[in-house]
Amino acid sequence: MVQTKNEEKGIAGCLAALDDFDEVIVVDSNSTDRTAELAKEAGATVINFTWNGKFPQKKQWQLTEIETRNEWLLMLDADEFPTPELARELRAIAEDPAESRVAFDLPVAYHFAGMGLRHGHSVVKRSFLRRGLNEFRNIDLLHLPGMGEVEAHYQPEPRGPVGRTTAKLVHHDLDPVRTWFDRHNRYSDWEAFIRMDPRTRENVRGSKSSQGRRFDRVPLKPLVFFLYSYVLRRGFLDGRAGFDYALALSVYYWQIGLKVRELQRGRAEAAAPAVSGAAAAASVPARSGEADHA
């Protein structure tokens, strides 16, 4: 199941990697380019999605509203595709009658600015889900600035054990690198507002992996992340691409911290006039005769 919106540049490559899958569904959000047309030409079933501005958002809507003949769903973005090894591994999982796990985390082979990364920071994406046993829970993020039809980056919650594949999911965005910075500027807005709201932050923290929860508490995140990705995880072995990626994500964490401080300063300035006004009123001496009527 592939979710799209104006993805004509990458949809053909994504669907070509799914050629051996017996059912391919593209969930398109009113694309104005040739995404839906190209998907149909590739043999996919195209279902349109129009968001009503409420929960569920697009991923949860796919889990609950789209009928499919398969028990297992591979949920992808148009810039992702399984390697042949991953496709075979997923098929074996789906065909195993003794399989008791209800979801699988897929290690991601990431490309940044057109370059493949083999080292440094890496992520897993919980994308292979047994129908009816996973949920993108509503963790109350729709009030965040710029939040749209797709859930923020958090994992679906399983009702059962979770596995992890050996083979990898490829993430290869064909858009210019400026779009990466555009997205992460928006993501940093979300993160800053989340950190200013203790209840929302706790909801988000509960949806993260144990690694994500630990990193959420780390001080000096930009520096710590760069050292972790580029040095400890040997991102330097990817050459300039490894340096660029580690630095770009470090700047992302710096953006979050800077925006949090801006929000904190704004709140303090908004509260200051009320406090100052009350103090000034208290310090004004009563006019003659007013004390007698108090």
Q: pLDDT, tens digit, for every residue of 69-100?
A: 999 999 999 999 999 999 999 999 999 999 99
Measured in whole angstroms, the distance separating CA 61 from the mean position of its chain's CA atoms is 16
The dihedral of CA 8, 10, 16, 17: what is its sign?
A: negative
Q: pLDDT, tens digit, for every residue of 35-49?
A: 999 999 999 999 999
For the chain, the three-class secondary structure string (H helix, E strand, C coil) is CEEECCCCCCHHHHHHCCCCCCCCEEEECCCCCCHHHHHHHCCCEEEECCCCCCCCCHHHHHHHHCCCCCCEEECEECCEEECHHHHHHHHHHHCCCCCCCCEEEEEEEEEECCEECCCCCCCEEEEEEECCCEECCCCCCCCCCCCCCCCCCCCCEECCCEEECCCCEEECCCCCHHHHHHHHHHHHHHHHHHHCCHHHHHHHHHCCCHHHHHHHCCCCHHHHHHHHHHHHCCHHHHCHHHHHHHHHHHHHHHHHHHHHHHHHHHHHHHHHHHHHHHHHHHHCCCCCCHHHHC
pLDDT bracket for residue 134 (50, 70, 90): very high
Q: Indicate whether 286 pLDDT > 90.
A: no
**85-90, long-range: CB within 8 Å, 24+ apart, which pairs?**
85/166, 85/167, 85/168, 86/165, 86/167, 86/168, 86/169, 87/17, 87/18, 87/20, 87/21, 88/167, 89/165, 89/166, 89/167, 90/128, 90/165
The predicted model scores a pTM of: 0.86
Write down the pLDDT at residue 292: 44
Q: Which two tokens stand for residue 181?
A: 């910075």
Do 202 and 140 contact (CB within 8 A), yes or no?
Answer: no
Determine the residue type at 187: Y
Q: pLDDT, tens digit, for every residue of 111-120?
A: 999 999 999 9
Write down the pLDDT at residue 284: 54
Task: Flag the least confident range among 193-202, 213-222, 224-233, 267-276.
Answer: 267-276
